A and B are shown apart, each in its own frame.
Chain A
Amino acid sequence: MKLFNIKALGAAALLASSVAALPAWAETTLTAVMQAPLRSLDPHLSTAQIVRTHGFMVFETLLGMDDQYQPQPQMADYTVSDDMLTYTLTLRDGLMWHDGTPVTAEDCVASLNRWSQQDGSAKTMMKYVDSIEATSDKELVIHMKSPFGPVLELLAKPSPIPAFMMPKRLAETPIGTQIPEVIGSGPFKFVADEYRPGDQAVYVKNEDYIPRDEPASWTAGAKVVNVDKVVWQAMPDMQTSINAIQSGDVDLIEQVTIDLLPLLAMNEEVETGILNPLGAQVTGRFNHRLPPFDDPQVRKAVMYALDQETIMQTAIGNPDYFQLCASIYGCEVPLASDVGAEYLEGTAEERMAKAKEILAASDYDGTPVLMMQPTDLTVLTTQPIVAAERMREAGFTVEVASMDWSTLQSRKNGWQPVSEGGWNFFFTYWGVAGIWNPLVHSLINGSGEDNTWAGWPVNARMEELRAAYLTAGTAEEQKQIAEEIQQIAWDDSFYFNAGEFKSVAAWRTELHDIQSGPITLFWGVSK
């Protein structure tokens, strides 16, 4: 009897050890279809959302941002001196790079240097920075020349480009060149061998990662990974993705075409919902350097002619998933306000009458407006057509030029006359995290300089206000400046804010505790 017990114990121990040795036995893999295929891996170099999502899998930021838009400790805890001139960041214990070496303050200084050469807002910040130095293995200090409000916010921001940390040897890669290896300190490790650019990216749980103690909130708090492996699978066809999630081939679709949601509504094994509470703003951009839109009156006619509701209704369909507001920072962010709403008041017909009136009174001579339309980016194919129809009704001559998205993107960067390949108007969209304050917002740059984002509006008052925002002492002051900026953006017709839409995700019911966040997060979720 005794002998038997010992044998049984031994067998149980053997079984336990073999289970531990073979994690594949119980491996859970989460397969996701992301909104775009992953083609490049350097999160400092790319502003694309998919690369940023990839960044947050593998890399971490010194500070995280919680769902109240507040910076919180992540890799480091921080203190700020009373004069706002010294920021001290202390790395928490147990941080390791995926190659097994410990994370040092020196690595982080090198990473901040690389990041600040690439990110627009960080470049602005560096004008106020005196030095960034590692004072020990664990501590780095940022000395300011003069106070700059959003330092912590920039270190924590989840919008392009986040301040990701990487080992010094990678951070020394010159800007413009991609990092040769993907080594971060984040909760997932990137599996280079299984990466097929544009098709598949594979991440495995980083067993050595020690999460923080605070509860998870957006990119702050504990990043607890409950799956062994995450596979991102590109699917160029939405119909295929929908079939695949219904058959169980994939667990999650990051962004479902809203018109197709009814297909999934019938399926009890699939849930749909908004994981990213921040939407995306659709924007129609004028080329301020070329006629006819170098004339503010002509631009204003367009502002009245275009109709947010028609544009969003045609593009999205279901009003549950779009929102109309005057805010240029996104409809639901702290800086959101109704300033400039006078351009959206009244019925579409009333505004059209006004547009006709303004255009007739202007110097517009019938010059054709070249409207660029992307053919291969479904979210942006309808807006130019709808806008062209409204503009024609107002009295414009509009030529819709269809082209692929890549051509459109490079064409937008030039300001030569239309006859030589220039442009007058096009639509794009911005994740709200990329426009939520005057610092990160690219479309309200009023300097008119060549190297600013396409459109090149010129407005001196706007530049004063943008500078004032950076040094504003209080939240109230910031808000007041932001509102004045918004008024100018409308009055001087920087661009047309066409409304905001939400990304709807779909996931199989086997998934539990999916986190909401400014990008799709793969910690917290279990299967």
Chain B
Amino acid sequence: MLTYFLRRLLMAIPVMFFVAVFVFLLLRLTPGDPAQAIAGDQASLDQLEQIRETLGLNEPLSVQFLTWIGNMAQGDFGRSLISDRPVLEMIGQRLGPTVALALVAMGLTLIIALPMGVLAAWRHGGMTDRLVMAVSVIGFSVPIFVIGYILIGIFAVNLRWFPVQGYKALADGLWPFVHRIFLPGLALASIYIALISRMTRASMLEVLREDYVRTARAKGLPESLVLFRHALRNAAIPILTVVGTGFAMMISGVVVTETVFNIPGLGRLVVDAVLARDYPLIQAIILLTAGTYVLINLLIDLSYALTDPRIRYQ
């Protein structure tokens, strides 16, 4: 198990290198000019040229790439082209809100979606099933920004239960934090609630037909124990896969949610960076998310082995 873990860690290096090369090329082949973002649209071509020269954007691509990789190997992620601030400092400023938002959304998802899915599978074909699926499908079918606006319209503007926008760190107190992050968390969770509850249901349906579930029932075990101890545990693999892949997809939801609720997180930082062609910043954020993603998936793969005794790794 340990060797497997170490081997997978080693394998993450080529993955990250692939990401680095891919992203670097993709960005540099994309039209757009960071100098323009610095100098504004009324700048003359002379001014732009001067800025490009200073930033080293006139160097050959290979030189730029090697410089970047070399600096990163020494732990230097560089400075933002636009704001001239260290990239890591900018990411650090924006990391907290995004992590908080993602965790809250994931928490809400699991609390809501798992029981929904199990219930639907248990009452398969009945009204409860249809109702659960109908509710989940709404989360699927309505764009996050519409859900966001509806939530804001009802709970913030009309009922005034929540603030309309903004973010407070946990350090500012539990209540201000929860108060502001609940609606965006719910909006972001909506799509995952739909996804996870469907996956749970589909997976549970399979498992519920297995012999050992019948046996457990025949033995007269309480239904809740059968459902949650025996069935759900074995239905976990596809669910875990989706939770893991959901992380990458969550970024897109995060971008939109952060925009609607005005949360100063990484999602907005990265979109701004793309639109302004702030290369070092985009590259660093992508490597960071890619690294996190690789790690999460490694953990999920490991948990496969733990949840499903049929899968073994040498």
Docked-complex contact A47 and B42, CB < 8 angstroms: yes
Interface string of B142-183 (1 = CB under 8 A from A): 000000010010001100000111100000000000000000
Docked-complex contact B277 and A243, CB < 8 angstroms: no
Docked-complex contact B164 and A406, CB < 8 angstroms: no
- CA–CA, A484 to B165, complex, Å? 52
Docked-complex contact B39 and A45, CB < 8 angstroms: yes
Docked-complex contact B46 and A47, CB < 8 angstroms: no
- CA–CA, A46 to B164, complex, Å? 33
Interface assignment of B276: CB less than 8 Å from any CB of chain A: yes
Docked-complex contact B51 and A176, CB < 8 angstroms: yes
From B166, which residue of chain A is reached at the shortest CB distance? A249
Docked-complex contact B163 and A45, CB < 8 angstroms: no
A244 in contact with B165 given A45-B39, A409-B41 (CB within 8 Å): yes
Docked-complex contact B268 and A236, CB < 8 angstroms: yes
Closest beta carbon of chain B to A46's beta carbon, Å: 5
Interface assignment of B136: CB less than 8 Å from any CB of chain A: no
Docked-complex contact A406 and B272, CB < 8 angstroms: no
Closest beta carbon of chain B to A48's beta carbon, Å: 4
Docked-complex contact B41 and A178, CB < 8 angstroms: no
Docked-complex contact A120 and B44, CB < 8 angstroms: yes
- CA–CA, A406 to B39, complex, Å? 12
Interface string of B246-274 (1 = CB under 8 A from A): 00000000000001111010001100100
From A118, which residue of chain B is reached at the shortest CB distance? B47
Docked-complex contact A240 and B42, CB < 8 angstroms: no
Across the interface, B48 reaches (CB within 8 A) one of A198, A200, A413, A452, namely A413
Across the interface, A45 reaches (CB within 8 A) one of B51, B53, B152, namely B51
Across the interface, B165 reaches (CB within 8 A) one of A49, A240, A428, namely A240
The interface residues of chain A lying within 8 Å CB-to-CB of B149 are: 239
Docked-complex contact A413 and B45, CB < 8 angstroms: yes
Interface assignment of A446: CB less than 8 Å from any CB of chain B: no
The interface residues of chain B lying within 8 Å CB-to-CB of A419 are: none
Interface assignment of A212: CB less than 8 Å from any CB of chain B: no
Across the interface, A243 reaches (CB within 8 A) one of B40, B45, B152, namely B152
A405 in contact with B275 given A235-B262, A237-B260 (CB within 8 Å): yes
The interface residues of chain B lying within 8 Å CB-to-CB of A51 are: 40
From A159, which residue of chain B is reached at the shortest CB distance? B42
Interface assignment of B90: CB less than 8 Å from any CB of chain A: yes
- A-B pairs with beta carbons under 8 A, tally: 145
Across the interface, A453 reaches (CB within 8 A) one of B36, B44, B277, namely B44
B-contacting 9-mer, from A36-44, A85-93, A221-229: A36-44
Docked-complex contact B164 and A407, CB < 8 angstroms: no
The interface residues of chain A lying within 8 Å CB-to-CB of B245 are: none
From B49, which residue of chain A is reached at the shortest CB distance? A451
Docked-complex contact A235 and B165, CB < 8 angstroms: yes
Closest beta carbon of chain A to B67's beta carbon, Å: 17
The interface residues of chain A lying within 8 Å CB-to-CB of B163 are: 247, 249
- CA–CA, A45 to B82, complex, Å? 11
From A435, which residue of chain B is reached at the shortest CB distance? B42
- CA–CA, A39 to B264, complex, Å? 14
Docked-complex contact A404 and B275, CB < 8 angstroms: yes
Interface assignment of B104: CB less than 8 Å from any CB of chain A: no
Interface assignment of B307: CB less than 8 Å from any CB of chain A: no
Interface assignment of B296: CB less than 8 Å from any CB of chain A: no
Could you say which interface size class chain A belongs to? Answer: 35 or more
Docked-complex contact B164 and A240, CB < 8 angstroms: yes
Interface of B is mostly: helix
Interface assignment of B37: CB less than 8 Å from any CB of chain A: yes
Interface assignment of B222: CB less than 8 Å from any CB of chain A: no
A442 in contact with B42 given A37-B272, A198-B269 (CB within 8 Å): yes
The interface residues of chain A lying within 8 Å CB-to-CB of B269 are: 198-199
Closest beta carbon of chain A to B259's beta carbon, Å: 5
Interface assignment of B93: CB less than 8 Å from any CB of chain A: yes
Interface assignment of A347: CB less than 8 Å from any CB of chain B: no
A40 in contact with B45 given A197-B90, A236-B262, A410-B31 (CB within 8 Å): no
Docked-complex contact B259 and A450, CB < 8 angstroms: no
- CA–CA, A70 to B277, complex, Å? 39
Interface assignment of B115: CB less than 8 Å from any CB of chain A: no
Docked-complex contact B40 and A48, CB < 8 angstroms: yes
Interface assignment of B224: CB less than 8 Å from any CB of chain A: no
Closest beta carbon of chain A to B266's beta carbon, Å: 11
From A244, which residue of chain B is reached at the shortest CB distance? B165
Closest beta carbon of chain A to B273's beta carbon, Å: 8
Interface assignment of A177: CB less than 8 Å from any CB of chain B: yes
Docked-complex contact A240 and B272, CB < 8 angstroms: no
Docked-complex contact A450 and B45, CB < 8 angstroms: yes
The interface residues of chain B lying within 8 Å CB-to-CB of A42 are: 84
- CA–CA, A422 to B51, complex, Å? 22
A176 in contact with B54 given A197-B85, A235-B262 (CB within 8 Å): yes
From B84, which residue of chain A is reached at the shortest CB distance? A178
Docked-complex contact A406 and B94, CB < 8 angstroms: no
Docked-complex contact A199 and B268, CB < 8 angstroms: yes
The interface residues of chain B lying within 8 Å CB-to-CB of A244 are: 164-166, 262
Q: In the complex, which residues 260-308 of chain B have their Cβ closer than 8 Å to any Cβ of chain A? A: 260-262, 264, 268-269, 272, 275-277
Across the interface, A406 reaches (CB within 8 A) one of B85, B157, B277, namely B277
- CA–CA, A405 to B274, complex, Å? 11
The interface residues of chain A lying within 8 Å CB-to-CB of B42 are: 47, 160, 430, 434, 442, 453
A41 in contact with B157 given A196-B94, A197-B90 (CB within 8 Å): no
The interface residues of chain A lying within 8 Å CB-to-CB of B30 are: 407
Residue in B41, B157, B276 whose Cβ sees the most chain A Cβ within 10 Å: B41
List residues of chain A with CB under 8 Å of any chain B CB: 37, 39-42, 45-49, 51, 118, 120, 160, 174-178, 180, 196-200, 233, 235-237, 239-240, 243-244, 246-247, 249, 376, 404-407, 409-411, 413, 421, 428, 430, 434, 442, 450-453
Shortest Cβ-Cβ A-B pairs, 10 listed: A47-B40, A48-B40, A176-B54, A410-B33, A197-B83, A47-B42, A243-B164, A176-B50, A199-B264, A178-B84
